[in-house]
Amino acid sequence: MILIIDFGSQFNQLIARRVRENKVYCRIEPPGIELEQIKALKPEGIILSGGPASIYNPDSPKADPGLFELGIPVLGICYGMQFMVAQLGGKVAQARKREYGFAELRTRSRTTLFKSLPAKSQCWMSHGDSIVELPDGFKVLGFTENTPIAAAADTRKRLFGLQFHPEVEHTTCGKKIISNFLFQVCKCKPSWTMKSFAAEAVDGIRQEVGNKKVILGLSGGVDSSVTALLIHRAIGRKLTCIFVDNGLLRKDEALQLKQRLKQHLQINIRFVSARRKFLSALKGVSDPEKKRKIIGRVFMEVFEAEAKKIKGAEFLAQGTLYPDVIESRSAFGGPSSVIKSHHNVGGLPKRMKLKLLEPLKFLFKDEVRKLGRTLGLDDDLVWRQPFPGPGLAIRIIGRITPPRLSILRQVDAILLDEIRAAGYYRRLWQSFAVLLPIKSVGIMGDSRTYENIVALRAVTSKDAMTADWARLPHKLLARISNRIINEVRGVNRVVYDISSKPPSTIEWE
Ligand code: XMP
């Protein structure tokens, strides 16, 4: 495995992605990790990430310099390189010219780290400080017009530094450099696959849980489904899943999930129908934050009541993913918890005195999808678009009533139907409909209508932090609009949302 020390770069998750794409496992840890912990992890190599700080700022993050003495290869990137150089007796100073963006990298040596690289290639820089003097034993491996020491190494000690970012796409040879570090320098083996991950995770769960019972909240999404499968494989019927039907789901969603998970995979699931409870608590409420709070509270009540029926449970499992874990412990103590408040069971482990079990907490979303496939989950579930916990409640603007839920469900089903048929479902991050609280005039046959308006929203995104509205073909939009107006009673107008995030959000509420 490779240890990545996180100095706060916005790209540190990308470094992890690049390493794992090479079938080598890696972990991202904060700079405060102790030397003993590093030794215990037995990394085959260490990568020091970039970061926004200046090495001479007294508050800048620092790792234990003892890591350079462990005989483990180290690759310092940007701030990581500067940290290494400064620790080992070199000099870093403010660059004459801040360098930001593309630069031409010229390589001096084409062995180990730079094996098979061309003499010139494009790299991507983002730094204010530069290295002006290398520690003893280091040699320059590459330079750019503004940065005489863009890459350097002490090859005897296997310490390498790059002033540019090999992990970003803009560095054309970046992938090659990272795979050289893994295979030429660290001598890693490309053996980490989802199959091996699953085997290890199953062992780990068995050890951690032993004979005890585990409870898991199923949402119908890919993360909780994969978590269920993995734990089920480890401990079988000692896992009980709880699925709460809050009455705010899409058409047939609860039914489909029931069939898939229960019949095909023999998982122990309790289905709790709590439609009435949710709808009566939401009656007359139109403020979006109030809706969320009510739904969160009722969910906790229903879930807890059901969980209490499972005697002797000691663990609560959750499908937390790696980005949440990393973001919630920023190197600078920055926004301390970005973990979304909509992780509905957040307060439960404490209240019910349950221990948390999070077997996906070192995986990224696409790895979870691959794991799902490995565990036998069908494509439909693996590729499901994200669906918010509060469900259709935040897609009905204004008050939620059974007739309005019914209209939105029909509209949404037509939209998804057509999006799937046109082959767009997987290409979109999300696609859904929103029911507006205003009416418009229309004409159907010979008579005037005064009916509802629905908005269609389809976005592309990598992580929901930013999103762009999808340029769906006009023909497809026309077909969706026609079908909705013809087939759904109570709708006489369809509009398409052409705003991006930011400044808009993906959901309307
Ligand atoms: P926004 O609307 O903030 O959404 O751009 C970003 C992503 O988060 C989802 N979302 C939610 N998910 N509970 C959830 O479980 C919520 O309250 C919630 N609000 C937004 C949204 O669907 C998108 O994927």
Picking from 185, 204, 233, the residue at the C-terminal end of a domain is: 185
CB 117 within 8 A of CB 173: yes
Exposed (0-12), middle (13-18) or buried (19+): which is 385, by Cβ within 10 Å? middle
The more confidently predicted of residues 370 and 327 is 370
79 with 141, same domain: the answer is yes
Residue nearest to atom 22 of ligand 1 (CA): 388
Q: What residue type is assigned to position 64 of the chain? A: D
For ligand 1, which residues put their CB under 6 angstroms from it? 292, 342, 386, 388-390, 430, 464, 501, 505-507
The structure tokens 């909705």 sit at 484
Average pLDDT of 430-453? Answer: 96
Buried b or exposed e, range 115-127, using 16+ CB within 10 angstroms: eebeeebebbbbb
Q: What is the mean pLDDT of the chain?
A: 92
Check residue 109 and give its pLDDT.
86
| 120 and 242 belong to one structural domain | no
For residue 311, how far is its CA from the centre of ligand 1 (angstroms)? Answer: 33
Q: Which residue's structure tokens are 């709790």?
A: 272
Atom of ligand 1 nearest to the CA of 344: 15
**Domain CATH code at residue 228:** 3.40.50.620
Q: Is residue 507 part of a domain?
A: no
Nearest alpha-carbon partner for 431 in 382, 397, 477, 493: 477
Judge whether residue 217 has pLDDT over 80.
Answer: yes
Residue 388 CA to ligand 1 center (angstroms) comes to: 5
Separation of alpha carbons 339 and 258, rounded Å: 28
The answer to which of 338-342, 406-410, 424-428 has the lowest mean pLDDT is: 338-342
- Which range is least confidently modeled, 384-393, 408-417, 462-471, 476-485? 462-471
Choose the catalytic residue: 26, 29, 44, 78. Answer: 78
Distance in angstroms (rounded) separating the CA atoms of residues 113 and 178: 8
Alpha carbon distances (Å) from 291 to 10, 254, 394: 33, 21, 8
Nearest CA to ligand 1 atom 19: 388
Which one of the listed residues 167, 306, 418, 509 is annotated catalytic? 167
Residue 160 lies in a domain: yes
Mean pLDDT across 111-136: 94
Domain of 455 in residue numbering reads as: 401-496
pLDDT of 332 > 50? The answer is: no
Q: Check if 167 is active-site.
A: yes
Instruction: Please give the structure tokens belonging to residue 373.
Output: 């496939």
pLDDT in tens, 239-294: 999 999 999 999 988 888 878 776 656 789 999 999 999 999 999 999 999 999 99
Q: In angstroms, rounded to a whole number, what is the distance separating the alpha carbons of residues 36 and 85?
A: 23
- Give the span between the Cα atoms of 105 and 118, in whole angstroms: 10
In a shared domain, residues 170 and 225 = no
Among 18-22, 179-183, 254-258, 407-411, where is mean pLDDT lowest? 254-258
Q: What is the pLDDT of residues 295-329, one digit of tens each?
A: 999 999 999 999 999 999 999 999 999 888 876 66
Q: Catalytic: 165?
A: yes
**246, 250, 282, 340: which to mutate for ligand 1, most atoms within 8 A of CB?**
340
Could you report the per-residue pLDDT of 67-123, keeping only the tens digit for each? 999 999 999 999 999 999 999 999 999 877 777 889 999 999 888 999 999 999 999
Above 70 in pLDDT, residue 341?
no
Q: Residue 507 C-alpha to ligand 1 middle, in angstroms?
A: 6
Q: Which of 127, 160, 185 is the last residue of a domain?
A: 185
Report CA Rg, the chain.
26
Give the pLDDT of residue 445: 86
Separation of 320 CA from ligand 1 center, angstroms?
15
Sorting pLDDT into bands at 50, 70 and 90, what band is 208? very high
Q: Provide the whole-model pTM.
A: 0.82
Residue 95, pLDDT score:
75
Residue finishing a domain among 185, 212, 245: 185
Mean pLDDT, rounded, for 39-54 = 96
Q: Is 130 helix (H, G, I), strand (E, B) or coil?
A: strand
* Whole-number percent of the chain with pLDDT over 70: 95
Residue among 297, 338, 302, 304 nearest 321 (CA): 338
Mean pLDDT of 482-492: 97
Residue 78 known to be catalytic:
yes
What is the reported pLDDT for 328?
67
478 has pLDDT over 90: yes
Residue 509 lies in a domain: no
Task: Tell the residue nearest (CA) to atom 7 of ligand 1.
Answer: 464
